Every structure is written in structure tokens, then in C-alpha cells.
Amino acid sequence: MMSKHGSKESHAAYDAPPLRVLHVGPGQGQRGGIASVLAELAAQRASFRRAGVAVAIFETHGFQSARSLLCFLLFDIPRFLFALLMGIDLIHFHVSVRGSFYRKFTLYLLARLFRKKTIFHLHAGNFQNFYVGGGSLTRKAVSRFVRGADAAVAVSSAIAAELQGGQGIAKNLYVIGNTAYSAEAAVGASSREAPDAKAADTTPYIAFAGRFTEGKGLDELLRAAALLKRQGLTIQLRLAGAGNTDRWTRAAIEYGVRDQVSFVGWLQGDAKLAFYRGAALFCMPSHFEAFGISTLEAMFIGRPVVGTRIGGFLDLVEEGVTGYLVPCGDVAELAERIRRLVESPELARTMGRHGVARALSRYSVEAVVRQYVHCYRNVSESKGG
């Protein structure tokens, strides 16, 4: 497996024509982790161009309705065929589970008909469950896609291990994390220091950013707040994202913490960065997390992280240095780690500073672009396709 840090290739301009790479992923108004990754890649076109790579983005419709499925069949497939005829050298497929997989697999088969080199890039933390739980046709499709691609990319070491163990990938496997360029650009702002609890007008809040689902650990987070309340520590939770707020409002009422919970909506840009800056810490006790873009954003802003010992958190968070990782579902330890950071603001500030340094060294735009370019050149120079 290739190192996540890639090679030390220069970003100097190449004399040869640029390598033309087409990234395929969600778009057309869809939200989520892969859509965020594509936006990050699109924003770095100039950096890729300086390294001799021309990046293009191909957005597909989702399968959320009959209309979107029809749009995929009638519009996306013809557009993709046209793109294949325009001299693309390499197709980079960004894949999750269910509809995301089936869309990309359909386009992968077309790319192979045109003898294009391909990359399978896995972003899902529950892909093995999707594979095991799928029918025989799905399992065959997964094996053909993953093993037939010229290279595979995983967003974290845990996802790479899943590909190795579940699909037997032993070579041409790269670990390349994501970037958070807006948050990275904010590094150095004086406002990133953790708020002083004594000077603040309100109780410091715990930030959460993601989809409001069971898998993101919202139930455990609410129960941890309730446990701390019974122990005499009242914390505020501010939840940024989208989902069934009525369900989680009812849960907060049931646990007796409704007055401590605020739903602030889906935040982007400066509003999202301000949301992180105002927090005492960032907490996401996910049941699975392939990478954790929100976690990385919070780290760039200088916030300590409390997460779970799974998936991308194992790469992002250095235990006891940039935050804490707790066993999945362990409400008591989750509450204890939150308490430690809330009651020790200097410890939180120190961990936040270490988090910034770790984010810059491993997940800066420069570092991640270099890893992509290293992967692309290896694939383009290999035989086959």
C-alpha cells in the first residue's frame, strides 16, 4: 500500500501536455461528503495544473426519485460518453454505497469500453456491510469494479484495510485524505483561540457538524449531555447539518436536555468557520466515519476533537494530543472526555494548537495535491487500461 504522504514530486510546470483527469461524483444540488470533496478538488485546479494535471469534474444526478434516475439515464450517460470522446486520460470515480456505487459502476463499464484508465476511490465507512449484504449481482459488480480499476484510493487507513481484507487489494492502493481549504486558509486568524469561559456571556458550546442520523452518534451525544447534567455540569450542544430535527428534538426532550440543544442548520463558508471558532470543542461520536471532513475543518480552526475509535478518526486525531477517542457507544467515557475539555480550557487550547499543526502537516492542500499527482502519474505510466 502506498504511503498517505505520497512522493516529493515538484509542482513545477511540465513541458508535456497535461494529464487530463475526469473526477466523477455527485452534483446537481446533492450534499454530503463526496460532494464536498469534489468542490475542494475543483477549487484546486490551478495547483493541479502547475503539477501537470488538468482536472475536470463530472457531476451525476442522484437516485432519490424517478425523475433523477431518468435524468441520469437520459442526460448523464450521454454527457459522459461525450466526455470520453474529448481526450480524457484517466477517470477518477468517487464511490460510496447503494445508488452512488451503481451510478459509478455503470459509468465505469462505459469507460472500460473506451479503454480508459480508471481509479476506484472509496469514501464510505460502511462499504463492507454493503458488499456482504448485497445480492450476488452486487457482490460481482463490486469485485469487478474494485479489482478491475487501475488503482484504488481510500480516504483513510481504516478504509484501505477494509479494501485489503474484504476485496483482496494488495497493490496499487493509495491512502489519500481530504482537504479543507477554507478552514486551512483561516489558520493564523487570531479569532481561532478557544473562548474564555469566564469572559463569555454564554456557556461554551459543543459543536457537531454532519447529518442528523443515528450513525453520527447523535443519540450518544444527547445522552452524554444528560449524564453531565445529572453530574452538575450543564453544556450547550449546537448541531449544524440537516436531517430529521423533529426526531432529535423529541430525543432531547426525553433525555431532559431540550433547553441545551440548538439546531443551527446546514452551514457553509464563513458561517461554518465562525461556528467552529465559537465552540469549546468539536464532538462527533460516529458509529462509522470514512474520513471526517468536519473534524478536519474543526482541527484547522484550532478546536480539540472528541470522536470514536473507528475509521478516519484514527488517522485524524492523535489520542491525548489533539483530542480524545472513545469506544463507539460508550456514553460514560464520552461524557468524561467532554467534561475534561470543558473544565480545562487551557488543555483544550493546547490540544487545539496541536490539532492545527497535525492538520497542516498531513492534510494541507499542497500535501494532498502532491499525493493525487503521484497516484495519477503512476497510473498513467503503468501498462494496461
Domains and CATH numbers, the chain: 19-177+365-381 (3.40.50.2000), 182-363 (3.40.50.2000)
pLDDT of residue 178: 95
Mean pLDDT of 249-259: 98
Cα distance between residue 283 and residue 267, in whole Å = 16
Q: What is the mean pLDDT of residues 114-142?
A: 93
The yes-or-no verdict on residue 274 having pLDDT over 90 is: yes
Indicate the pLDDT class of residue 2, thresholds 50, 70 and 90. low
pLDDT tens, residue by residue, 62-120? 887 899 899 999 999 999 999 999 989 999 999 999 999 999 999 999 999 999 999 99
Using 50, 70 and 90 to split pLDDT, how confident is the model at 15? low
pLDDT at 12 over 50: no
pLDDT band at 33 (very low <50, low <70, confident <90, very high): confident
For helices 293-300 and 345-363, angle between their N-to-C axes, nearest 10 degrees: 110
What's the pLDDT score for residue 16?
Answer: 74
Mean pLDDT (the chain) is 90
Instruction: Give pLDDT, residue 190.
Output: 38
Residue 176 confidence (pLDDT): 97
- Res. 197: pLDDT tops 60: no
Greater confidence (378 vs 195) lies with 378
Report whether 73 contacts 62 (CB < 8 A).
no
Rounded mean pLDDT of 27-56? 87
Measured distance CA(170)–CA(320) in Å, rounded = 32
For residues 262 and 257, what is the distance between their CA atoms, to the nearest angstrom? 10
Under 8 Å between Cβ of 98 and 130: yes
Contacts 24+ apart (CB under 8 A), 360-366: 360/184, 360/187, 360/300, 362/4, 362/5, 362/177, 362/315, 363/177, 363/178, 363/179, 363/180, 363/184, 363/296, 364/179, 364/184, 365/44, 365/47, 365/179, 365/181, 365/184, 366/11, 366/47
Task: Return the half-sphere exposure (C-beta side, CA atoms, 13 A cut-off) of residue 380.
Answer: 18
Q: In b/e form, how buried is each residue of 57-80, taking b as 16+ CB within 10 angstroms?
A: bbbbbbeeeeebeebbeeebbeeb
Q: Which three cell numbers stand for residue 87?
A: 481526450
Share of the chain above pLDDT 90, in %: 81
Enter the C-alpha cell of residue 28: 446537481
Confidence label for 60 from pLDDT (cuts 50, 70 and 90)? very high
- pLDDT over 80 (residue 146): yes
Question: If you search the block for the grid coordinates 462509522, which residue do you land on?
Answer: 288
Say how far residue 209 (Cα) sits from the centre of its chain: 12
Mean pLDDT of 174-182: 95
pLDDT of residue 10: 44
Of 2-11, 186-195, 301-310, 318-327, the poorest mean pLDDT is in 2-11
Q: By CB neighbour count within 10 A (0-12 exposed, 13-18 middle, 19+ buried), where does 201 fall?
A: exposed
pLDDT digits (tens, 9 = 90+) for 304-359: 999 999 999 999 999 999 999 999 999 999 999 999 999 999 999 999 999 999 99
Write down the pLDDT at residue 171. 83
Split at pLDDT 50, 70, 90, the class of 4 is very low
Distance CA 26, CA 338 (A): 35
pLDDT digit string, tens, across residues 281-308: 999 999 999 999 999 999 999 999 999 9
- pLDDT for 188 beyond 70: no
Do 341 and 22 touch, CB atoms closer than 8 A?
Answer: no
